[in-house]
Amino acid sequence: MSKTGQRGSKPIKYPELFQPIKIGKVEVKNRIVMAATHTDAVEPGGFIGDRLIYFYAARAKGGTGLIITGPAIIEPTIIGVPYLMPFLYDAAHMPGWSELAETVHAWGAKVFAQVDSGGPGRLGALLGNPNALAPSPVPIEMDPKYVVQKRAEKLWKKRGLDLAKHDLIGNEFPVPKEIKNEDIHRLEDQITHTVEMVKRCGFDGAEFHFAHGIMGANFLSPRTNLRTDEYGGNLENRTRYLRNILYKAKQKVGPDFALGFKISADEHLPGGLNVEEAAAICQYVEPLTDFIDISAGAHHESQAFMEPEEDGAIIEDAAIIKKKLSVPTITVSVHNPALANSAIKEGKTDMIASSRGLIADPEWANKAREGKPYVKCIKCLFGCCGRVDYGLPIRCEVNPNVMLEYQMPEYYRFNAPYKRTYYVE
Ligand SMILES: Cc1cc2nc3c(=O)[nH]c(=O)nc-3n(C[C@H](O)[C@H](O)[C@H](O)COP(=O)(O)O)c2cc1C
Ligand code: SF4
């Protein structure tokens, strides 16, 4: 490999996939994004350690243009639920995050942090947290075919494990409490504070999580937002939380730092967001954002659409949304490089993102560039989603190295081609 981290003069198999692109002022070397993935690989106290740093280093070394990390948690409200996500609200959390940014940069990728917009919300209630807050007290309707649980259950049984002993998701879900107006304002300020920290840790941008039925998404969706104040009702009001966050954060971080959000194009739930409404939201909020990341579904209530079995399942909805926009769009869940290339070529998306595809093969991008075979994610959900629901760090059925990358010197920063960048306050 050359010093630039690019694979020299070898022909590029999928040229559209390897065109550089600008997100705001941030130049990304290709169209391949690691989708936000919470891994449960967090060190005690909510800190980032080597496991997470080298997990991302491997994907950056593998040619991924942009890494979007799993969520940075803006305050300790996540406590009380089994998901383990790293905190970023106190100066003590910063060294781990800045080490992560520096290491990913050393391997030639750009890095954004996903920022969780206010505790677990309805997701917390799904996980049994009696104090979970949401825009409105709408009961949880768990999908009886809850896909991750069902598939993981089968596999755990095969291995002689008693699922009941590990089951951290109960069968009764407390109705989330309605969040008060003053708490919404506090969250807007808190999330802005975390985004400032993300920037100070050396990141290139941040993504606000407004997809998958978590708190931010609950404000956007007519199904879960029944408020009658300025945060509920029409599109202007339902997008107020998102718009306030984008506006307040941009004031603090300035134009060079990219800011965007992730949205479910379709929640696939009665009365939930559909693609027309999602497109209208994106168009309305577009002046405040540098990019939009398009996904689908809602945690546990329509989870099958979040981690679909069909490759590129969201592309057609993403294309409908993209038609209305001029900022770059990212579309998740594209694993096949030929499909990724054609979706970009046909103007259906600007970038493609993958979580499971890059868990399965961190070298996916470099292999796609040269048209080499890659290790395919078999969509079993056992090692990844099937473990995080039990508070366990992810593994992968087809990649034994997941979360052991920190023990593999090939990913260490001193082997990387790029110069150090320094954290500057
Ligand atoms: C283990 C795991 C954890 C995930 N965590 C998050 C998350 O924290 N935030 C998010 O927006 N999406 C999360 N996702 C969803 C992915 O970002 C992506 O939208 C989805 O998995 C579809 O892409 P894929 O088919 O390439 O996996 C997660 C996915 C997996 C597999
Ligand atoms: S193959 Fe790996 S990444 Fe894909 S679903 Fe299974 S455990 Fe998850």
Give the model confidence (pLDDT) of 363-405 as tens digits: 999 999 999 999 999 998 888 988 887 778 999 999 999 999 9
Q: Is residue 423 part of a domain?
A: no
Examine the pLDDT at 119 and tell me if it is beyond 60: no
The angle subtended at Cα 99 by Cα 119 and Cα 292, nearest 5°, is 50
Residue nearest to atom 4 of ligand 2 (CA): 377
* Ligand 2 contact via 356 beta carbon (within 6 Å): yes
| Dist CA 425 CA 420 (whole Å) | 16
Q: Is residue 270 part of a domain?
A: yes
CB of 223 sitting under 6 A from ligand 2:
no
Is pLDDT of 153 > 70? no
User: Which residues touch 130 (CB under 8 Å, ≥6 apart)?
Assistant: 174
Q: Which of 304, 305, 364, 307 is nearest to 340 (CA)?
A: 364
Residue range 164-188, pLDDT digits in tens: 554 445 556 788 889 999 999 999 9
Predicted local confidence at residue 170, as pLDDT: 52
Q: Which domain holds residue 326?
A: 15-415
Closest ligand 1 atom to 68 CA: 17
CA-nearest residue for atom 3, ligand 1, is 37
Is the CB of 396 within 6 Å of ligand 2? yes
- Is there a domain that residue 253 lies in? yes
Q: Which two tokens stand for residue 350?
A: 């600007």
Total structural domains within the chain? 1
CA–CA distance, 67 with 89 (Å, rounded to integer): 21
CA 182 / ligand 1 centre spacing (Å): 31
4 domain residue, yes or no: no
Backbone angles phi, psi at 198, to 5 degrees: -55, -45
CA dihedral (206, 27, 55, 201) positive or negative: negative
Q: Is residue 422 part of a domain?
A: no
Which residue minimizes the CA distance to atom 3 of ligand 2? 356
With bands split at pLDDT 50, 70 and 90, how would you rate the model's confidence at 121?
Answer: low
Inside any domain, residue 226: yes
pLDDT of residue 418: 75
Which CATH number goes with the domain that contains 347?
Answer: 3.20.20.70
